[in-house]
Amino acid sequence: MEITKLQLFSYRNYKQCEIDFKNGLNVICGKNAQGKTNLLEAVYFCVVGKSFRASREKEVINKDSEFAKIKLFIKKEIGNSIVEIIFSRKDKKTVKINGVPIKKISELLGEFNGVFFSPDELKLIKESPEDRRRFMDIDISQTNKQYFYLLNRYNQILQNRNKQLKMNLKRDDLVDIMKIWNTQLATCSLKIAKYRQNFVYMLAPFAQKAHSYLTDNKEKLGLEYVGIEEKTEEDIIKHLEKNLDKDLALGYTSYGPHRDDIKVTINDVDVRTYGSQGQQRTCALSLKLAELDIIKNQINTKPVLLLDDVLSELDDDRKNRLLAYCKNVQTLITCTSFNYNVQCNKLEIENGEVKK
Ligand SMILES: Nc1ncnc2c1ncn2[C@@H]1O[C@H](COP(=O)(O)OP(=O)(O)O)[C@@H](O)[C@H]1O
Ligand SMILES: [Mg+2]
């Protein structure tokens, strides 16, 4: 899978812009605050239907404009496609695939596959399990819509259950009501756990390979899914029942896939606690490169790799290894200066425009 062209209209600091991309390495160069990250944001918008940084979506609309548009041209093994996203200050955004508006964002998933990495992604290793769950969820959803629906359903049930917990019902009544929620929750929990377990199991060898490569075999990366251990719905229900008083006291459900995690180790030591910043960063990158491999395996074509500002964060050895890796997959990489002796399509960005 490849992108051939991106058009932006009133998107952040881009007024009107058209950029052609080549296969292999595309280097997006420019000084600070010129629009490099904005560009990757726009491309990644077409992968997941949302921004990796805007909390309020309308903030992507140029400050002097009423609407904004992203138009991305994708070349695939079979057929090409165009993804368009139109933002308006007044209405909800519209997403079109080949000119046809979609009804649900889930219809977009899988249309265009990409993997995004920025220094921020360090939180994938460093921060709370939530970030690692999001990583699993976005990944599995990209190639599996059933999972996306399942997750939505789980969250809905969880919300309802939590609401009940806060309603100050008599305990006996609550026990009855909880039976329904627990059963539904258990069904979804078991399925989600299986998907995630399987995902981490598949991811591990790829992540290990990427990490060995980036570190020149100096470090061995290990991944382990940490989640619910029960093997049947009945056992999960029992666990939920056992936790009722605890949940009542807390006012929320304390057990389930919404607490899952991935344990990451280097040479068998927990990276989150003991890894250096550099190790954690390389780990996060390895996970992302592995994500790329997994998606590739599932859809039989390579997704596009989007790397924001990663070069400044790596030592020369790791930098060169990463760049060598990027030759084999269409990559968009941003940086402030680029003087490496590799073949690439170099684009200069200045103030929301590509310098000709
Ligand atoms: N909605 C918007 N309208 C106009 N400019 C914007 C908007 N959102 C962000 N910007 C501008 O985009 C620039 C930052 O772009 P960014 O892609 O993060 O830069 P960098 O090249 O450093 O990655 C800033 O100058 C910011 O003011
Ligand atoms: Mg940036």
Of residues 319 and 312, the one with the higher pLDDT is 319
User: What is the model's pLDDT at position 340?
Assistant: 86
User: Where in the chain do CATH 1.20.1050.90 domains reside?
Assistant: 120-300
CATH 3.40.50.300 domain extents, the chain: 1-113+303-356
Higher pLDDT: 347 or 325? It is 347
First vs last C-alpha separation in the chain: 26
pLDDT at 311: 87
- Starting from the CA of residue 39, give the closest ligand: 1
Residue 18 has a pLDDT of 97
pLDDT exceeds cutoff 90 at 121: no
The answer, as to whether pTM is greater than 0.95, is: no
34 lines ligand 1 (CB under 6 A): yes
Which range has highest mean pLDDT (61-75, 289-303, 312-326)?
Answer: 61-75
Residue 341 confidence (pLDDT): 85
The CATH number that domain 120-300 falls under is: 1.20.1050.90
What pLDDT, on a 0 to 100 scale, did the predictor assign at position 82?
98
Residue with tokens 């002097």: 64
Give me the pLDDT at residue 122, please.
Answer: 86
Evaluate if residue 142 carries a pLDDT over 90: no
Determine the distance separating the centroid of ligand 2 and the alpha carbon of 207, expressed in angstroms: 26
142 lines ligand 1 (CB under 6 A): no
62 C-alpha to center of ligand 2: Å?
17
pLDDT for the residue numbered 78: 87
| pLDDT average, residue stretch 90-114 | 95
Distance CA 354, CA 356 (A): 6
In this prediction, residue 307 has a pLDDT band, given cuts at 50, 70 and 90, of very high
Confidence of residue 151 (pLDDT cuts 50, 70, 90): very high
Homologous superfamily of the 1-113+303-356 domain (CATH): P-loop containing nucleotide triphosphate hydrolases (3.40.50.300)
- pLDDT score of 89 more than 90: yes
pLDDT band at residue 67 under the 50/70/90 scheme: very high
61 CA closest ligand 1 atom index:
1
